């Protein structure tokens, strides 16, 4: 597997992704189902502006 095979972070049916891959690996080791929750930045090229309140 290389990063070119992955379609992003979030799980999607029948698609190779980071979240699903990590969850499967954890389940293989611990024999327990887990659901990862991630948060992060927006898509590439999208920027937030800081405004004063």
Asked if residues 27 and 33 have their Cβ atoms less than 8 Å apart, the reply is yes
Residue with tokens 């502006």: 49
Catalytic residues: 43
Q: How far apart are CA 17 and CA 6, in angstroms?
A: 5
């Amino acid at each position: 597997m290389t990063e070119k095979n992955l379609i992003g972070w979030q799980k999607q049916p029948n698609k190779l992704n980071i979240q699903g891959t990590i969850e499967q690996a954890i389940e293989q080791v611990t024999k327990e189902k887990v659901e990862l929750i991630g948060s992060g930045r927006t898509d590439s090229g999208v920027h937030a502006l800081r405004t004063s309140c």
